[in-house]
Amino acid sequence: MVKMRLARRGRKKLALYDIVVANSRSPRDGRFIEKLGTYNPNSNPATIEFDENKAFDWLMKGAQPTDTMRRILSYKGVMFRKHLQIGVNKGAISQEQADAKLNAWKSGKEGEVQAKVDKLANAKVSDAKAKLDAEVKVKEARTIAIQKKAQVAEAPVAVAEENAENTTNEEQA
């Protein structure tokens, strides 16, 4: 049986995966029939790059995706494309209608992904601004504390100078 699955690579605690088509009996990181692309779960959102046409061809030939691969294929629209193509093959809809539905779905999905990327970028900028504001407050508090300390240190010196002036004035009188 032929399976579409992930083959692990990368270093410890920083996994990267190859999206491959392999015999179900071959080891996870072993021999494969064809490499379709890569998957990086470490980035936010996860980076998925693969040849959707080849994946679609393998699905139509009967390759069975693993659970994770099924989710990835659904996320990218390959499973929806297969569903629509089966409808075209049975005569339920025309190829043009299927293509229009797929393009509408993909444009909506791209909008969602772009909204998430923008949201993450805005959150990063606002976090950086909040950290900078907190640093400014701490710096101001330190400056005030240093000024108070300097005033306290100057006060006994000023009192001693006044006493010295008073004594010299009394001696002169």
Check residue 170 and give its pLDDT.
Answer: 67
Contact 165, 157 (CB under 8 A): no
Nearest C-alpha neighbor of 69 from the set 139, 118, 141, 4: 4
Check residue 65 and give its pLDDT.
Answer: 94
Check residue 29 and give its pLDDT.
Answer: 81
Element (H, E) at 89: helix 78-90
End-to-end CA distance of the chain: 116
User: Dmax over Cα atoms in the chain, in whole Å?
Assistant: 122
CATH of 2-93, one of 3.20.20.10, 3.30.9.10, 3.30.360.10, 3.30.1320.10: 3.30.1320.10
Tell me the domain boundaries of the chain: 2-93
Task: Name the DSSP letter for residue 49.
Answer: E
d(Cα 95, Cα 71) in Å, to the nearest integer?
25
Q: Which residues of the chain have a pLDDT value below 70?
A: 157-160, 164, 166-173
Check residue 40 and give its pLDDT.
Answer: 94
Check residue 7 and give its pLDDT.
Answer: 93
Check residue 147 and give its pLDDT.
Answer: 87
d(Cα 55, Cα 34) in Å, to the nearest integer?
10
pTM over 0.75: no
Check residue 33 and give its pLDDT.
Answer: 92
pLDDT in tens, 96-131: 999 999 999 999 988 888 898 899 889 989 999 999
Contact 53, 33 (CB under 8 A): no
